[in-house]
Amino acid sequence: MIEVAVLHEEGWPGTDWEMLAQRAVATAIAHSPYAAFATDQTLYEVAVKLTSDEEVHSLNRAYRDKDKPTNVLSFPMVQEDLLEVTANTDDGEVLLGDIVLAEGVCVAEAAEKGISVADHATHLIVHGTFHLLGYDHMDDNEAEAMEALEIAALLSMGLSDPYGDREAI
């Protein structure tokens, strides 16, 4: 089972953020090698925090040594090589990690792309979930693989390819 806890601060536009985050996380997982997490007896937990640019700036500086806000940060709690054996927990729960979105950055990027904040946030939560599952975009091959999964997940939700005209796999 997948459970998503949403911490929603003031300032974010009115949307059902709990439903949006649950759907984005579940869809990303369904498009990954870990699709079985959705039906496992184990409870897989993800926390999504919708917060201010200032908080994300502080986190980005502290954890990534980057002195600026960014749209999304992910904090995996399970090492990639241990994801396949997580169902063997003692208490039946696995905290996959945290995803943190910056309100001002997300709003500005959505406006620049000509899409709704909700659609952009959905993409960022999908992106963050893939990071929790061990995906990265440090080199071109990793980036292409991760982006293809994101595109497929978003298309299945009726959202367009956020990266351009590339075909999803």
> Which residues are annotated binding-site positions for Zn(2+)?
127, 131, 137
The answer to whether the Cα torsion of 75, 16, 55, 71 is positive or negative is positive
Contacts of 122 (CB under 8 A, 6+ apart): 20, 23, 24, 154, 157, 159
Q: Which residues carry a binding-site annotation?
A: 127, 131, 137
Question: By CB neighbour count within 10 A (0-12 exposed, 13-18 middle, 19+ buried), where does 21 fall?
Answer: buried
Contacts of 52 (CB under 8 A, 6+ apart): 9, 11, 102, 103, 104
The one-letter amino acid code at 65 reads D
Distances 22 to 89, 103, 117, 144, 145 between C-alpha atoms, Å: 22, 18, 16, 25, 23
Max CA separation in the chain (angstroms)? 46
Tokens of 64: 């990534």
